[in-house]
């Protein structure tokens, strides 16, 4: 059974306790949002997720979206759920108040996103892509376009998409063929076809606003000749309501492995009217504003699946009777013990738990930087936040979605044969989570971005906020008297040393041979992610130890569990850093040795 209740205590921990003094907080723009107010937002979001979205998750998967006579219909109940979502102001949560948003911090927004992704990943794409599109429009469009589109999109009356991929090109956008012809009135006629367009069309909103990459007639070849355009499904009338059709049509919807309640469309643009966003031939940079926002959100999708997979597996493991504990019966009153007593089941549950808590903490660190980049009054803090975001975005996207997929599979394994059939609902998590490792740039592409662009950028400056934070924490911890904290600190120091050595090796080898950097990329990203998780778990363990020593009262159970989870991470997960380091050290030789013809 799909089981979920937002982990509100852990969310409050990462929101209010974990990152005090990290230099990204204390923003004047957010002074009005007290902890009590933010906690209330999380509690209401949990009710929405549990009571409105979760009941539609399995049924939406079973029914899927429908495409009939050029019209896309979402599954039963989705329109009503979206109306409830929009009317509650959830589409506008973190948007700028200038456009009707509530202006809440990204730290809170990402926690709400997690709840939505846990309870209905397909649903999450509709408002999620709109938020990303508004980010790009706000950053690059003219004032006139902002006034015309942002209020309706922020309110959720209209939705947004990103139209990049074409049938002959995926990641290599320099090959795209969609054309943009200038018109006398300053608009453009957009002609071309796009595939894999999430939320490309549906019945949830009155209009769909597409951000489309296309080429001008005189554009240079490759990625330097791409421009970005706003292309609405319906042309807005003077009063702002949707007007005539704009030559935007759906050729088909994709038949997918999962995410069946999310309409993934093949889109045609036939002399569709559009308006340029940003500068001509610099559309890819503008689109990356949206893509980078979406990459962090896709990471949150992995975290959301991880959490509901964990909770569902725990519920089953406590209920399913099979065998006896290896140390003697734990429930002699029953014919068998619950399977949660078995070490291998515990291994799976603890792995899922560690992944979820670690990614939630690392995601909050990233979200704090997103807030600081946007709202800090200190130029040095803004720059540090920008550097940090550039470095960790590919890690968040790839690590979180890898873990989410693994957690979904572990949930199925926990259920055994019952997990493999539809009735219990966990096989849906496997299917739904799998795409997150692919879209918005495959995880291999994220790793190449990390080692090929983010590491060497600005003479390695992007590394400083991350490396300095980890180094400072290890130095601050010194040699703790607490044996557990001492072991944790030593484990992080060893993994961090492996990361530093790997960084140097990649920098040295990659300059001479780019294939060496490419061969190391995926292992390096995982290594950096493990160090990032280790940083958050060591901070959490130190806080928990201090709180318990001071007398934690009713929170004592929470802090004891936090220490137990940290212990599992440092004992069972962080040692993987050694394997990552050895793989990186081995270089490209065995990876590239086999001739292509021999495969």
CA distance 148 to 150: 6
516 is catalytic: no
- Judge contact between 319 and 339, C-beta under 8 A: no
Q: Which residues pair with 268 in a beta bridge?
A: 193, 249
Beta strands in 15-157 (DSSP E): 66-68, 71-73
CB atoms within 10 A of CB 54: 20
CA distance 521 to 449: 9
State the burial class of residue 158 (Cβ atoms within 10 Å of its Cβ: 0-12, 13-18, 19+): buried
Q: Which residues pair with 232 in a beta bridge?
A: 209
H helix or E strand, kind and range, residue 400 = helix 379-415
Got the DSSP string for 514-570? Answer: HHHHHHHHHHHHHHHHHHHHHHHHHHHHHHHHHHHHH--GGGHHHHHHHHHHHHHII
CB atoms within 10 A of CB 329: 12
Dihedral of the alpha carbons of 89, 371, 131, 147, in degrees to the nearest 10: 80
Cα angle value 249/253/257 (rounded, 5°): 160
Cα angle value 342/343/344 (rounded, 5°): 95
Q: Which residue has the tokens 């950097």?
A: 517
The residue among 299, 83, 100, 267 whose CA lies nearest residue 190 is 267
Q: Which two tokens stand for residue 330?
A: 């734990």
- Judge contact between 212 and 163, C-beta under 8 A: yes
Phi-psi category of residue 120: left, alpha or beta, with phi > 0 → left and psi -120 to 50 → alpha = beta
* Residue 427 CB contacts under 8 Å (≥ 6 apart), including other chains: 412, 419, 420, 421
Q: Which residue has the tokens 């376009």?
A: 145
CB atoms within 10 A of CB 191: 17
End-to-end CA distance of the chain: 42
Question: Which candidate in 294, 357, 406, 440 is catalytic?
Answer: 440
CA distances from 490 to 274, 506, 536, 561, 587 (A): 57, 24, 14, 21, 27
Query: Could you give the residue numbers annotated as active site?
Result: 440
């Amino acid at each position: 059974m799909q089981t979920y209740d937002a982990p509100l205590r852990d969310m409050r921990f990462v929101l209010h306790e974990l990152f005090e003094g990290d230099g990204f907080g204390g923003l004047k723009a957010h002074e009005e949002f007290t902890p009590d107010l933010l906690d209330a937002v999380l509690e209401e979001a949990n009710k929405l997720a549990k009571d409105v979205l979760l009941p539609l998750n399995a049924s939406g998967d079973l029914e899927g979206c429908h495409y009939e006579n050029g019209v896309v219909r979402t599954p039963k109940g989705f329109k009503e759920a979206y109306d409830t979502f929009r009317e509650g102001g959830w589409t506008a949560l973190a948007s700028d108040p200038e456009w009707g948003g509530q202006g809440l911090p990204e730290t809170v927004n990402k926690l709400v996103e997690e709840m939505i992704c846990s309870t209905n990943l397909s649903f999450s794409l509709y408002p999620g892509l709109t938020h990303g599109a508004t980010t790009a429009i706000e950053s690059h469009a003219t004032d006139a376009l902002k006034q015309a589109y942002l209020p309706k999109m922020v309110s959720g009356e209209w939705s947004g998409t990103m139209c990049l991929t074409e049938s002959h090109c995926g990641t290599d956008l320099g090959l795209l063929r969609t054309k943009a012809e200038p018109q006398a009135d300053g608009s453009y006629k957009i002609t071309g076809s796009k595939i894999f367009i999430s939320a490309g069309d549906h019945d949830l909103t009155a209009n769909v606003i597409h951000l489309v990459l296309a080429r001008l007639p005189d554009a240079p070849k490759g990625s330097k000749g791409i421009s970005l355009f706003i292309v609405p499904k319906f042309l807005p009338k003077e009063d702002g309501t949707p007007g005539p059709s704009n030559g935007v049509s759906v050729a088909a919807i994709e038949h997918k492995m999962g995410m069946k309640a999310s309409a993934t469309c093949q889109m045609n643009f036939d002399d569709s009217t559009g308006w340029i966003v940003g500068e001509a031939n610099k559309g890819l940079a503008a689109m990356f504003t949206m893509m980078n926002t979406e990459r962090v959100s896709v990471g949150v999708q992995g975290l959301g699946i991880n959490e509901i997979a964990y909770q569902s597996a725990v519920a089953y493991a406590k209920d399913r009777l099979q065998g006896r504990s290896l140390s003697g019966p734990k429930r002699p009153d029953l014919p068998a013990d619950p399977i949660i007593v078995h070490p291998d089941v515990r291994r799976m549950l603890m792995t899922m738990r560690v992944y979820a808590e670690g990614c939630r903490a690392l995601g909050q660190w990233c979200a704090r930087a997103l807030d600081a980049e946007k709202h800090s009054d200190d130029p040095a803090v803004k720059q540090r936040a920008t550097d940090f975001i550039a470095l960790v975005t590919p890690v968040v996207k790839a690590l979180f979605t890898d873990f989410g997929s693994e957690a979904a599979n572990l949930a199925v394994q926990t259920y055994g044969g019952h997990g493999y059939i539809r009735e219990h609902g966990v096989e849906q998590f496997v299917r739904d989570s799998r795409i997150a490792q692919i879209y918005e740039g495959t995880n291999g592409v994220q790793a190449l971005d990390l080692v090929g662009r983010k590491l060497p950028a600005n003479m390695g400056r992007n590394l400083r906020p991350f490396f300095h934070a980890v180094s400072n924490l290890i130095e601050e911890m010194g040699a703790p008297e607490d044996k557990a904290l001492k072991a944790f600190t030593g484990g992080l120091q060893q993994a961090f040393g492996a990361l530093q050595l790997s960084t140097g090796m990649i920098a040295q080898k990659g300059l001479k041979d780019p294939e060496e950097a490419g061969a190391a990329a995926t292992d390096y990203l995982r290594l950096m992610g493990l160090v990032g998780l280790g940083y958050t778990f060591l901070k959490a363990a130190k806080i928990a130890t201090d709180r318990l020593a001071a007398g934690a009262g009713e929170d004592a159970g929470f802090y004891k569990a936090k220490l137990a989870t940290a212990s599992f991470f440092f004992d069972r997960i962080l040692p993987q850093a050694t394997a990552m380091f050895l793989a990186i050290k081995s270089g490209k030789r065995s990876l590239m040795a086999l001739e292509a013809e021999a495969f």
